A and B are shown apart, each in its own frame.
Chain A
Amino acid sequence: MTETRSRVAGSFRDPSGHMMVLDDRLLRQVNLIYQSNYDQLMSSGLYKNLTEDGLLVTHQEVEIGDVTDPQAYKLLKPELIPFISYPYEWSFSQLKDAALATLDIQKRALACGMSLKDASAYNIQFVGCKPILIDTLSFETYQEGKPWVAYRQFCQHFLAPLALMSLKDVRLGLMLRDFIDGVPLDLTAVLLPWRTRFNPGLMMHIHLHSATQRRYTDENGQQGEPERQTGVSKQGLLGIIDSLEATVRGLHWKPDRTAWADYYQGDSYTNTGTEHKQALVGKFLRQTKLQKVLDLGANTGLYSRIAAKQGCFTLSADFDPGAVELNYRQAVEKKETNLLPLVLDLTNPSPSIGWNNTERESFTGRCHVGCVLALALVHHLAIANNVPLVDIAAFLAGLTEWLIVEFIPKSDPKVQTLLSTREDIFPTYTPEGFEAAFKEYFTIVQIEPVRDSDRRLYLMQKREIETP
């Protein structure tokens, strides 16, 4: 049998090793150059300490015979993460929890004579609602006197976006999509309100940090040589970590209540209608018997939780950062293990970014689920964003095998609101037009009217489309 092997596109920066797909298995190669650090991670008790508390992904060492690379030292089979999400898809508290987990890991590493050599937000993923470090090769032996090599990266990936989201506008979290190595500190310093200079943590880690970067960068944009050589004691380093932690903990954001409050109560359903819709969604989901569900337009996750309670790992996506924030807080509070809230604007989903446009994959490239829930969604895409119904069907067919979709007719107050300020240019937006468009990609398995409304819920299965 021939071996099929490919390096994961985003795994190229660190010479310590890389991720690869080998005969359909996702593996991590550890290189000989990293040998002493890897051995220290495993023997110092740090690996055990972190994995027992769910802060580091577990792995098994596998037979290296499969790999012919002379640089290879070990081959690891890491625990798989249900869905790889990116920091620009996280709500404020998700990014904050990821930042605090990174600092917690760094403190534990220092206690074991090691230090994080990077602090990338992309190295943190969510298992359940718990942030976990997925890069086993992020540790290096701590050298007394050495400043924290990942300090700049921590400030750019975590502190800067959190400060901007908290103190300026939560939507600035999306800057992480444009700045793949975190928000530059000089830009952060300009955007933050002037009063943040009186916040000791932000003064030091953003404003002074940015000014010092400028001072030691020459006209060609190269970092200049420092004028004097001195080090940072371990106590000093612990002080910096403690200060970063206090600064991050001091940042807060509360969703604007007007945007989401009582949404479910105000979604033009009667209680009977809501209960009936929930029952129908539950029934349809049981029929599909699937493992992975994507709820699009999930709001605060009412219907996502029906799927999650049936044992499906559920991605609960919404464009409103406030709704996602509340969804995440609820999931944390209830210690939900198979629900992941995400910020996602369906009219402009996360693109492929980074080197060669392949370093961080697009949302649609990462997301292949058994079932999509598209409840109270189609009218937003079709009427508010003018997307033809057939294009919506094609998009959904690219994500899923099964579809639970709601059609809300023009007579419904929600659609009336959308049409009240604009001309009705949607003659095919009718139940018949909707069914005809979706039949191009799906087979309609079942149609159920929702009680006390004109709405309909459909269970659909993707059609095998013959290619000429």
Chain B
Amino acid sequence: MQFHFSAVLAYLDPGSGSFIVQILIASLLGSALMIKAFWRQITSIFRRKN
């Protein structure tokens, strides 16, 4: 199966393994970032109050 992305300028071989590992970790890290941003918002409210 192929990745279907424009390869016109893809002069660098990204490596299939390097693509797969990103797919494996992306959801986890994306969610972690969202939680982090949410947590920052919460703490900033308290910081403002102080």
The CA-CA distance from A146 to B14 in the complex, in Å, is 11
- The answer to whether A238 and B30 touch (CB under 8 A), given A15-B11, A152-B15, is yes
A-to-B contact residues, CB < 8 Å? 13-16, 33-34, 37, 117-118, 140, 143, 145-153, 155, 204, 208-209, 212-217, 223-233, 235-240, 242-243
Question: How many whole Å from B34's CB to the nearest CB in chain A?
Answer: 7
Q: Which residues of A contact B4 (CB under 8 A)?
A: 229
Contact bitstring B5-22, A, C-beta under 8 A = 1, else 0: 110111111111111111
CB pair A214–B17 under 8 Å, yes or no, is yes
| 8 Å CB contact of A226 from B6, B11, B19, B25 | B19
CB pair A215–B17 under 8 Å, yes or no, is yes
Please name the residue on chain A nearest to B31 by beta carbon. Answer: A239
CB pair A212–B24 under 8 Å, yes or no, is yes
Q: Give the interface size class of chain B.
A: 20 to 34
7 contacts between A and B (CB under 8 A): A14-B11, A147-B26, A151-B21, A227-B1, A239-B31, A239-B32, A240-B29
The CA-CA distance from A150 to B23 in the complex, in Å, is 14
Question: How many whole Å from A170's CB to the nearest CB in chain B?
Answer: 27
The CA-CA distance from A232 to B5 in the complex, in Å, is 12
| 8 Å CB contact of A208 from B12, B21, B36 | B21
CB pair B16–A240 under 8 Å, yes or no, is no
Q: Which residues of A contact B8 (CB under 8 A)?
A: 33
- The answer to whether A216 and B20 touch (CB under 8 A), given A117-B12, A226-B1, is yes
Question: Lowest 9 CB-CB distances: which A-B pairs, in order?
Answer: A236-B26, A239-B29, A213-B17, A152-B18, A239-B30, A236-B30, A235-B30, A147-B22, A216-B17
Question: How many whole Å from B17's CB to the nearest CB in chain A?
Answer: 3
B50 at the A interface (CB under 8 A): no
Interface of A is mostly: mixed
The CA-CA distance from A237 to B26 in the complex, in Å, is 6
Interface of B is mostly: helix
Please name the residue on chain B nearest to A242 by beta carbon. Answer: B33
CB pair A223–B34 under 8 Å, yes or no, is no
B-to-A contact residues, CB < 8 Å? 1-6, 8-34, 36
CB pair A240–B25 under 8 Å, yes or no, is yes
Given contacts A143-B6, A208-B24, A243-B25, 8 further A-B contacts (CB under 8 A): A147-B14, A213-B17, A226-B19, A226-B20, A229-B3, A235-B33, A236-B26, A242-B33
CB pair B3–A226 under 8 Å, yes or no, is yes
The CA-CA distance from A223 to B2 in the complex, in Å, is 12
| 8 Å CB contact of A151 from B18, B27, B36 | B18
Q: Which residues of B contact A204 (CB under 8 A)?
A: 21, 25, 29
Q: Which residues of B contact A228 (CB under 8 A)?
A: 1
| 8 Å CB contact of A153 from B12, B27, B30 | B12
The CA-CA distance from A355 to B22 in the complex, in Å, is 30
| 8 Å CB contact of B10 from A145, A149, A217 | A149
Q: Which residues of B contact A140 (CB under 8 A)?
A: 9
The CA-CA distance from A408 to B13 in the complex, in Å, is 53
CB pair A148–B22 under 8 Å, yes or no, is yes
Question: How many whole Å from B20's CB to the nearest CB in chain A?
Answer: 5
Please name the residue on chain B nearest to A238 by beta carbon. Answer: B33
CB pair B19–A147 under 8 Å, yes or no, is yes
CB pair B14–A150 under 8 Å, yes or no, is yes
CB pair B18–A143 under 8 Å, yes or no, is no
CB pair A209–B1 under 8 Å, yes or no, is no
Q: Which residues of B contact A117 (CB under 8 A)?
A: 9-12
The CA-CA distance from A9 to B23 in the complex, in Å, is 36
CB pair A229–B1 under 8 Å, yes or no, is yes
The CA-CA distance from A76 to B14 in the complex, in Å, is 28
